[in-house]
Structure 1
Amino acid sequence: MDIIVKKFGGTSVQDDEARLHALRHVKDAVSKGFKVAVVVSAIGRQGAPYATDSLLSLVGGKDTLLDKRELDMLVSTGEILSTGVFTELLKQHDIKAIGMTGPDAGIKTNNEYQNAKVLDVDTRSILDAFADNDVVVVAGFQGLSQEGRITTLGRGGSDTSAALLAAALRAKYCDIFTDVSGMMTGDPRVIKHARFLNEISYDEVANMAHEGAKVIHPRAVEVAQQAHIPMRIRSTWDDVDKLGTVISQNGIKHPVIGVTHQLGLTQFRVPTEHSDKVLSLLADHDISVDFININSEAVVFNLTGKASERAKSLFTAHEVDFSFTDDCAKVSIVGSGMMDTPGVVATLVTALSQKDIDILQTSDGFSTIWALVTGSQFAKAVNALHDAFILNQTV
């Protein structure tokens, strides 16, 4: 039995028109003899009646009195509703289908409500269902806790649900359907000359996702990589024969394959003698530090909006000497081959300096180099980097 997993995001199931486009892709797979596990997100995005943020707004949003377990009980209904609607559509078109919640599908998690970790996927119920059905529709983003209660997997959890099911079912492919045709070398809304990528490695797409690309959740890529499951990022609105971007171990590796960005960061600077106290304070209050540099004079790090406001309050209350710069942006270049390519850092610095862009901070890893710039300069920065590294490169 050959199985394919197809995940449809919120925009892919947001209305009748979108769901009919999603239906075409499922029917095509069934017609080719595949059994299909479909994972669906909640219907629509913020503002839509059944989207996750809309459900949260019913109980006061961030001011809710519900605890995390109760919040999971609430927001999990978005995916369950979507599962019922899509299963009905399949049956209307004479496709043998059955709908399941995450717990029904055997997704078992720990007890960390709102951000549960999957411990096991028991595929027996899905495999049994395939005996009489061609399609099993599964509510993404959710599982069953060790306490026997419904949990959710955190933002991007439906991508993770799809990858975990693909791994457990030993699927031929895991298709992630969205409203774009695949991965690009940068965000086309910002980067003028962004180019489409036919193929990319697991490591590269995971790093692009970690550094701001919104097409797929990095945890899903990591799961697929560990299980050696090829993934494809595809558009629900494209023809069924357009396969989008293929992600695999054999993906083409370039010195730089993409440019990404993250907005809304605050850069903090604390004297080195206070570093132990500061880092302990942040850890004790579950504030995760990003993009950190330590030298003999200061420890410099970045936090996102909400975390930065909490940190400011903490440092003030504990009489920590600190300074900060709001409205920063992290721009990154990503590529598995950059470690073997001389001159990458020099090219980055030159590209930004030639556009009179101030570099506030830099850091690098095995396949990523970061630079912090002011938020007002981020668009100019990502275009400068894309032109320098990718515009004349064959991808």
Structure 2
Amino acid sequence: MKYLVQKFGGTSLVTPELREQVARKIIAAKDEGYAPVVVVSAMGRQGDPYATDTLVKFVEGINSSISPEALDNLMACGEIISGVTMVATLEGQGHKAVFLTGGQAGIITDNGHTDAHIVKVDPKLIHQYVSERVIVIVAGFQGQTENGMITTLGRGGSDTTAAALGVALNAEAIDIYTDVDGIKTADPRIVENARTLDEITYNEICQLAHEGAKVIHPRAVEIAMQKNIPIRVKCTFSDAPGTLVTASYDKRVEIKRDRIISGITHIPNVTQIEITTSEFPSSEYPQLKIFKAMANAGISVDFINIHPDVVIYTVKDDIAGRAVGLLEDMGFAPIVTPKCAKVSAVGAGMAGVPGVMASIIEALVAEDIGILQTADSHSTIWCLVKQDDMEKAIRALHNYFALGE
């Protein structure tokens, strides 16, 4: 059986006309000899009647301290509505279809309500329906615990559902349908000539997603990568081929090795914190004290540089005040630079290539953009800049590396 997992985001399902387009893509896959297994998100975004954020806002208006267990029961409703609606749409066109909740589809999770992790997938019910030539529609974003409690998988959870089912079914591919035509070289709202990438590696797309790109959830990519299931990011509203995400060693696709940088992405609204530790005796381990304090307070830190006498890191703007307060209570005098942005250049082709950092600095200096901090890995170089310079920095790097060509 040739399985094809198709995931459709909420913006693809809002109106009857859009659902008709979705149905055509599902039926086309069936006509091509695939057994389509379709994962759906809740319809629309906040403000739309069946969107998850709308449901959550409604119930929190009654009681803002609702339990995570109860909240999961509520948040699972949006995908159920979408799934049943798609079954009705397909059956209205003469195609047998069935809807399964995440739990019915065999997705078993841990007990982490509102941000659960998948423990295992047992798709026996999917196999049964597919053997009867029934199109299976599965609610994304949800599963159940071993004892039958409904859980949800956190933001981007429908992508995770699709990837987990793709691996469990040994699917030919996982098609992620969105309202854009693939992975872009940069945010097209910032860079006019941002180009759709034909192909990208798992590692590159994970880095882009972790560093701010929102087309696909990195957890989903990491799951698909375990079994080397290709992911195709496509547009619901066109027949464009989209972007193929696969391993660099996969013989089914020739990865272009002459591409040093694949894309530029960004994370706005961060604050840089710099702490001088030289005034504290080394026996007191000031670096350890700093990061333990952040961890104990539940403050996530990023962009960390540790030197013998200085510690530098970033936090989100909205929690910077709390982080600084903790440091001052410990006797530190942090230097705080708010309203910064992290701009990242991502590309598997940069590994082992000399001069990439020099090129990035040259591109930014040419536009008179101050660099507050840098870091790098084998496939990513990060630069911290003032937020006022963020868009200029993205365009400068995009143009320097000719990503629009």
Q: TM-score, normalised by structure 1?
A: 0.95
Which residue does the alignment assign to 2:256?
252
- Does 2:271 align with 1:263? no
1:341 aligns with 2:346: no
The number of residues matched between the two structures is 391
Deviations 1:263-285 (A, max 9, x none): 11111112234322220011123
Q: In structure 1, how many angstroms separate the alpha carbons of the residues matched to 2:150 and 2:321?
A: 32
What is the CA-CA distance between 1:316 and the residue it aligns to? 4.5
Contact 2:73 2:150 in 1 (8 A): yes
- Superposed, 1:29-178 pairs within 5 Å as 29-60=29-60, 64-178=64-178
Does residue 1:277 correspond to 2:289, yes or no? yes
Query: How far does the alpha carbon of each residue in 1:209-265 deviate from its partner, in whole angstroms, 9 at most, with x for none?
Result: 1111111111111111111101100000002xx321111114434311111111111
- Distance of 2:373 and 2:58 partners within structure 1: 41
Structure-1 separation of matches of 2:339 and 2:61:
25
Query: Is residue 2:379 matched to residue 1:372?
Result: no
Letter in 1 for 2:230: P
Contact 1:68–1:114 (8 Å) recurs in 2: yes
C-alpha distance in 2, partners of 1:303/1:359? Answer: 17
Distance (Å, rounded) in 2 between the aligned partners of 1:298 and 1:61: 45
Q: Residue type of the partner of 1:328?
A: C
Q: Bigger shift: 78-87 or 63-72?
A: 63-72
Matched, 1:383 2:395: yes
Distance 1:8 1:387, change over 3 A: same
Distance 1:258 1:148, change over 3 A: same
Q: Which residue is 1:359 aligned to?
A: 371
Given the alignment of the two structures, is residue 243 of structure 1 paired with residue 255 of structure 2, yes or no? no
TM-score, reference length from structure 2 = 0.93
Give the 3-state SS of the residue equivalent to 1:325 in structure 2: strand
How many angstroms apart in 2 are the aligned matches of 1:331 and 1:228? Answer: 29
The alignment partner of 2:348 has SS state of coil
Deviation digits for residues 325-376 of structure 1, max 9, x if unmatched? Answer: 2111000100112122111000111111111111011000110000000111
Distance 1:37 1:217 in 2: 19
CA displacement at 1:308 relative to structure 2: 2.8
1:274-298: CA deviation from partner (whole Å, max 9, x where unpaired):
3222200111233221111111232
Q: Is the 8 A contact 1:111 1:147 kept in 2?
A: no
> What fraction of aligned residue pairs are identical, expressed as a percent?
44
Partners of 2:194 and 2:404 within 8 A in 1: no
- 1:47 CA drift (Å): 1.6
Name the aligned partner's letter for residue 292 of structure 2: S
Find 2:323's aligned residue among 307, 311, 315. 311
- Give the drift of 1:318: 4.5
Q: Within 2, Cα distance between the matches of 1:188 and 1:141?
A: 27
Q: Which residue pairs with 1:332 in the alignment?
A: 344
Unaligned runs of at least 5 residues, structure 1: none
Matched, 1:289 2:301: yes
Secondary structure, aligned partner of 1:45: coil
